Amino acid sequence: MPHTYGVEWKMIEIRVRTSRRVEARDITEEVRRAAEGKDGCCIHLFSLHTTCGLTINENADPAVMKDMIDALGRLVPQDYPYRHGEGNSDAHVKSSLVGGSLTVPLSAGRLVLGTWQGIYLMEFDGPRERRIALTVVK
């Protein structure tokens, strides 16, 4: 067993089904349910994929995430002549730009998020089932 330097942790896997090639899927409630009542200082989320990302952004107005998707599409167009032969290079680039992990504080077993914040899985090569490793850190 590797040395943890006094840090205790437990990993839970969340599975998320996406329905379109590109979408912002609000996973706040799935994360909240998985973390609810857990004793720790924070949770760490990690995408187990290279063509989707994780981000925290406004969840009150759906136009914000549509704007994010549109902006990423302008920055990294799907039809650019990439070298990767699978036809999903734009998804790899967008995933790297967005990032594949997040850390969210926990207080008394509850996520600490701002009033308008939500946790999003950013799908760039769907539809598919995605796996997110959620680690509760004590």
- Give the domain extent around 73: 16-137
Number of domains in the chain: 1
Dig out the tokens for 135 from the structure: 């680690």
Helix (H) or strand (E) holding 123: strand 117-123
62: in domain: yes
As a whole number of angstroms, the distance between CA 60 and CA 117 comes to 8
Q: Say which CATH number the domain at 114 has.
A: 2.60.120.460
pLDDT at 6 over 70: no
Percentage, residues of the chain above pLDDT 70: 93
117: in domain: yes
Residues 30-89 pLDDT 10s: 999 999 888 888 999 999 999 999 999 999 999 999 999 999 999 999 999 999 989 999
Q: Grade residue 124 by pLDDT with cuts at 50, 70 and 90.
A: very high
As a whole number of angstroms, the distance between CA 15 and CA 86 comes to 24
pLDDT at 7: 62
> Which residue intervals of 1-138 are DSSP H helices?
28-35, 62-75, 89-98
pLDDT at 40: 82
pTM value is 0.92
